[in-house]
Amino acid sequence: MARDKSPKRELLIELLIDKIPKELHIHFPHRWWFIGDVLITTIPEKLKQYRSAVGEAFLQLEPKRARTILGKTGPTRGITREPSFDYLAGDKNTETIHKELGCYFKLDAAKLTFSPGNHFERERMLDAVKSDEFIIDMFSCVGNLSLPIAVNKAPKQIIAAEINPYAFKYLEENIKLNKVTDVMKAIEGDNRVILREFEGKADRVISGYLHSDEDQIRQAVRLCNEGSMLHYHVAITARKEIQTETIMNIKKIIQAEGRVCTKMIRKRVKKYSPGVEHIVLDIVIN
């Protein structure tokens, strides 16, 4: 991810300085990142009427890497987490193949979530997983968290659930593209319903959605076998009492399911929004 005082930003300013009125220069983009050959930047409201100029400047800045330029205009929406991106410049086809951790993630970068800020979490999962595990990814998207495991580790089986038909199409395609059909299987639908047949079977459950409801947490716990690891992702304010309340709540749900939490470790994944963090709780369930 490129940032404030990098030489690239200096170059970006040079490319834009004559194209945008002086009083708007303080709004020049500060951040941009790549999903495959799609470059995404933040585009403040004040620069919206200059979106083509901003897009063209990025195409010049990254001629080898960027085919399409998108601008983030707002938060990710709804249960399918559709991003709010505006087309700025370049090729209008926003389907791309992002390469990371030895995997090919094919996706429509304008319509589906793939967070660069989750890179270290994707990598961390590779260290955590042991051979021969039965793993369930409850919120798979295009395989964001579980595909690297299938490609780089030796799981017994990965079951990947996804409710959004558009994400599911890419998930299935990515399983084939990465030649892991022998260990990874995609299932389409609501994880509260479609995963019931796997209750008590998982060695590891990945719950990678920041706004799970109580039924989804219950389902995650039910999937766990004795001593299984649940990776529960949540967006939470930095305030200690709220964090304590969230943890107590999860412990209560685990107890209500007749299970025990024998270990819980909290890890920070990234900043989610002002005052809110994306954290993951690694919970051992017995």
Ligand X SMILES: C[S@@+](CC[C@H](N)C(=O)[O-])C[C@H]1O[C@@H](n2cnc3c(N)ncnc32)[C@H](O)[C@@H]1O
Part of the chain binding ligand X (CB under 6 A), chosen from 11-19, 29-37, 111-119, 246-254:
111-119
In the complex, the smallest distance separating the C-beta of residue 163 from ligand X, rounded to whole angstroms, is 4
Which residue lies nearer to ligand X by CB, 118 or 174?
A: 118
Task: Work out how close the CB of 279 gets to ligand X at its nearest, in angstroms, rounded to a whole number.
Answer: 13
Specify the DSSP class assigned to residue 2: B
Q: Taking CB under 6 A as the rule, does residue 113 contact ligand X?
A: yes
Q: In this structure, what token pair is assigned to residue 98?
A: 């992002």
Please state, in angstroms and rounded to a whole number, the distance separating the CA atoms of residues 10 and 130.
45
> Of the ranges 6-14, 32-40, 155-163, 224-232, which one interacts with ligand X (CB under 6 A)?
155-163
Spatial neighbors of 198 by CB under 8 A, at least 6 apart, are 136, 159, 223
11 touches ligand X (CB under 6 A): no
Least distance in angstroms from the C-beta of 9 to ligand X: 27
Total residues interacting with ligand X, rule: CB under 6 A: 20
Give the burial string for 245-270 (b: 16+ CB within 10 Å, else e).
Answer: ebbeebeebbeebebebeebeeeebe
Q: CA distances (Å), 196 to each of 192, 209, 266, in order?
A: 7, 18, 27
Residue 277 binding ligand X, by CB under 6 A: no
* Residue ranges in contact with ligand X by CB under 6 A: 79-81, 113, 115, 118, 139, 141, 144-145, 161-164, 167, 190-192, 208-209
